[in-house]
Each structure stands twice: as C-alpha cells, then as structure tokens.
Amino acid sequence: MKKILLHTILLVSLPTFAQQIGNGMSIITAKQRLDLSKGYEVDDKSIEGSPYFTTTFLPATVTGYEGMFLLRYNAYKDEMEFQSEGKILFVIKSDSMEVNFTNSNKKYKYTLYNSDKGNVKGFLVSIATGKKVSLFKREKVKLIPKVEAANSYASEVPAHYEFQREAFFIKKEDGIVPFPKNKKELIKMFPDKESQIVDFLKNNSVSFSKESDLVTLTTFLNSI
C-alpha cells in the first residue's frame, strides 16, 4: 500500500484537538505531524460486534513525535487508527514504536515477537517491565465470515467479530516468545533457576493463564 504522509496537531490548550483538511490528503497543523498511511472508510455496519477493545479515540503519545494524538487500536487489523472526516487512517509503524494512552496508561509496543505463526511484527501491550524479563500480551480479534442459510428452515449467521483469548509473551535477552504455560516449560526456559522456581511455585498459588499472577511471576523472575 502506498504510504501518504499526513500532518496532525495538538493545540497548546489540552485536551482540545483540532485539524483542518488542506490540499490533497494533508491535515494542516501548526506544530507537529504524525505520519499516517491511507486506511479505509468507516466500518461495514453489516458486520456484527467490534474489532476494538476500546472503541473511543483517546489521547495518546507516540514515540518520535511531540504532543498528543487521538488514537485507538484496531485489534483485528493490528493497526493504530486516526480519524479524519469519516475516514480511518493508519499510523505508519516503525520498529520499537510505543503508543501510550495517557488516560489509562496503557502502552502498546510495535515489535518483533515469536507467535504460533513464527516471527511476526505487531503491537503488544506492555504489562510489566524489568531488567531481566518483561511481560507483554497480545489483543486479537478475528473476523468470522457470514454463513449462508443451508435451507429455508435455517437462518444465516451474519459476519461478526470475535474476541480471541489473550496471549501472553515474555521478553528475554534473545527476544520475545510465548510465556511458558506451566511449571515444566518455565523451568526449561530458566534451567539454572530451577530450585528457586520450584520453591516459589510451591509456596505461591500461581495460574499461568491469569494476568495478575503472571505479573507476580515476572517480578519474581527479575529478582533471581
């Protein structure tokens, strides 16, 4: 997709935002610009559900840019979105880009990570950071195609967005990989820390699928 640079602005008096459409696809601003690529028109209303965990455009800072911008994360397209005159535009992604939504302090990092599809680049939510390891999670929405009615007695199932189970990842020196799913996998990842891990899990009730417990486990791993 050919990228088109668009310019955006945050006025001096927060939280008031403004933009004007000038010639072509440029958004005229007074101070700072956010590089965007052409996106799409407003969502198809025939699709049920939502591709967003948060549908509202909220103030956010972006690494490499001054000021603040109204953005939202599209978990189906894995894109940060900006809206202008009914059109959705995508923030041009760059390595290690971070988007921090200031109201919720929710931070997304665009990075390379290992998933069930191999090494991919995408946005991960930063959950807990440390000098040795850090915890991330992926938000994902899947589009389920429409299913036509098999006969006159059946009803068609409309196309709809479906939230997927969140996936957690751990960042080590050698990259970002899926978080271990159990004690055995955790020990395999940190074989030199086996005794400390065994003792910790023996004395603490930890679920490998619960975010708060993984934060606790990440804090522990940074301490040993």
Please tell me which residue, 217 or 36, carries the higher pLDDT value: 217
Closest of 47, 33, 32 to residue 77, by C-alpha: 47
How is residue 95 written in tokens? 């390595």
**Per-residue pLDDT tens for 103-139?**
999 999 999 999 888 999 999 999 999 999 999 999 9
Does the pLDDT at position 85 exceed 90? no
Partners of residue 119 on adjacent β-strands: 114
Per-residue pLDDT, 51: 94
Per-residue pLDDT, 153: 81
pTM of the model: 0.81
Query: What letter represents residue 46's amino acid?
Result: S
Per-residue pLDDT, 43: 57
Mean pLDDT of 25-52: 68
**Per-residue pLDDT tens for 9-21?**
333 223 333 343 3
Query: 15: cis peptide before it, omega within 30°?
Result: yes
Contact between 168 and 203 (Cβ < 8 Å):
no
Closest of 71, 42, 46 to residue 143, by C-alpha: 46
Closest of 72, 136, 137 to residue 99, by C-alpha: 72
Report the alpha-carbon distance of residue 4 to residue 183 in Å, rounded.
Answer: 48
Per-residue pLDDT, 123: 98
Does the pLDDT at position 163 exceed 60? yes
